[in-house]
Amino acid sequence: MPASVAVVGGGMSGLAAAGELHRRGLDVVVIDRGQRLGGRLGARTLRGTGLPYDGRIVDLGASYLTADDPGFVELVGRWTADGLAREWTDTFHVAGPAGITGTTSGPLRYAAPGGLRSLADDLALQLPSVVNPRAVESVERSGDGVLVDGDRFDAAVLAMPDAQVLDVLGDDDPLVARLDDVVWEPVLVLVAAFASRRWPDDLEGLFVNGDPVLSFVADDGRRRGDGAPVLVAHSTPAFAADRLDDPSAAAPELIDRLGAVLGVPAPAWHEVKRWSLAKPDGHRTEAYALDGPIAVCGDAWGARPRVQTAWLSGRAAADSVADLLGA
Ligand SMILES: Cc1cc2nc3c(=O)[nH]c(=O)nc-3n(C[C@H](O)[C@H](O)[C@H](O)COP(=O)(O)OP(=O)(O)OC[C@H]3O[C@@H](n4cnc5c(N)ncnc54)[C@H](O)[C@@H]3O)c2cc1C
């Protein structure tokens, strides 16, 4: 019988880890507490907007993918060929607090017509066993294996932000000492739906520099390819940090700054989403941590907190666990 591995967390890192463990012949199960997989590839379906966009998906977490690792480039290429991902743009507008100042070009950004979460669903389709929604409460060492909420596995991969790992690992676990050094920044995300497009025709996305409230704005219709006049605006971490208890109350300030920076009127419909653990500070150099039969991975394990980083971290952790189990 193959050795068994529980992957706790069905975001990009956990799904990447599970795919690699499955490929190495191990008996793998992914457990995630969300109603939907994908973690910070978050999305929501518009409802009750009073506009003709109800039922439309909006990306609320990661804005886009970039890919320069050969393995991830290959995966994004497959998604693109299958119509799950699409080349979005390499050029964004740039603004200061008083408005747009120009454009800047960078790497090609990829988006997903069905929302980035659909890419997580695609990875999950290749897996034998995914359990959600189920929140894991404890992961403990037991003999040469682990107990996940009392169920025995030969190994476990914890694929989530540090604070969520700490919630399930006992305080005395040796891995805890490896998790205490990363600062996680929060972000508030405003979804703003309009009756019609009221911003520059060539605008795909907007980096906002030097503004106390806004950091980035995406045209979700352009990104996803249906042209719907929906903007998604990300706050600065400092603005979010003081407003995590009541994100909806931040809407007027976010809308006001969106108007000032982009010259748009108030949206016909809006909503604010909170990400308390949006972005790790990205200073770790290791791709994952492993101690005995427990590995920890995710986007904090690498230089930049990106979807690609999470994918690479999950794969690297899985390879080590598979080696450990002799697979
Ligand atoms: C607002 C925002 C904008 C971003 N923009 C970009 C961008 O433009 N480009 C880019 O590349 N990246 C971006 N990112 C970062 C990107 O989303 C992440 O790097 C990546 O999705 C992290 O994946 P992960 O698997 O490490 O963690 P997560 O996606 O956080 O996955 C962790 C999973 O663990 C699950 N979980 C937690 N605790 C438990 C438990 N006890 N039991 C069971 N399951 C549990 C959660 O439900 C979740 O699904 C952005 C992130 C945010 C929040």
Residue pair 190/270 in contact by the 8 Å Cβ criterion = yes
Q: Domain 1-50+116-181+284-327: which CATH class?
A: alpha beta
- The residue whose CA is least distant from atom 48 of ligand 1 is 39
Burial class from Cβ neighbours inside 10 Å (0-12, 13-18, 19+) for residue 128 reads exposed
Residues of the chain with pLDDT under 50: none
**Is the minimum distance from the CB of 280 to ligand 1 under 6 angstroms?**
no
Task: Measure the CA–CA gap between 261 and 203, rounded to whole angstroms.
Answer: 13
Residue pair 116/62 in contact by the 8 Å Cβ criterion = yes
Is the entire prediction scored with pTM above 0.95? yes
Give the model's pLDDT for residue 293.
Answer: 98
**Is the minimum distance from the CB of 310 to ligand 1 under 6 angstroms?**
yes
DSSP symbols for 151-166 = EEESEEEEES-HHHHH
Among 40, 187, 272, the mutation site with the greatest number of ligand 1 atoms within 8 A of its Cβ is 40
Q: Which candidate, 199, 193, 218, 196, places its Cα nearest to that of 262?
A: 199
Give the model's pLDDT for residue 208.
Answer: 97
Q: Would the CATH topology of 1-50+116-181+284-327 be identical to that of 63-114+184-280?
A: no
Q: What's the pLDDT tens digit per position in 37-79?
A: 999 999 999 999 999 999 999 999 999 999 999 999 999 999 9
The ligand 1 atom nearest the CA atom of 63: 8
**Distance of CA 160 from the midpoint of ligand 1 (Å):** 7
Give the model's pLDDT for residue 303.
Answer: 87
Helix axes 70-81, 307-324, angle to 10 degrees: 110
Among 108, 160, 190, 254, the mutation site with the greatest number of ligand 1 atoms within 8 A of its Cβ is 160
Give the model's pLDDT for residue 283.
Answer: 86
For the domain with range 63-114+184-280, which CATH number is right: 3.40.190.10, 3.90.660.10, 3.40.190.80, 1.10.630.10? 3.90.660.10
**Is the minimum distance from the CB of 120 to ligand 1 under 6 angstroms?**
no
**Is the minimum distance from the CB of 236 to ligand 1 under 6 angstroms?**
no
Upstream peptide bond of 133 is cis (omega within 30 degrees of 0): yes
**Is the minimum distance from the CB of 110 to ligand 1 under 6 angstroms?**
no
Give the model's pLDDT for residue 68.
Answer: 97
Give the model's pLDDT for residue 232.
Answer: 98
Which helix (H) or strand (E) element contains residue 85? none
How many angstroms separate the Cα of 13 from the Cα of each of 204, 236, 308? 28, 25, 9
Q: Which candidate, 108, 258, 263, 256, places its Cα nearest to that of 200?
A: 263
Give the model's pLDDT for residue 97.
Answer: 85
Report domain extents, the chain: 1-50+116-181+284-327, 63-114+184-280
The ligand 1 atom nearest the CA atom of 38: 49
**Is the minimum distance from the CB of 11 to ligand 1 under 6 angstroms?**
yes
Task: Measure the CA–CA gap between 299 and 14, rounded to whole angstroms.
Answer: 10
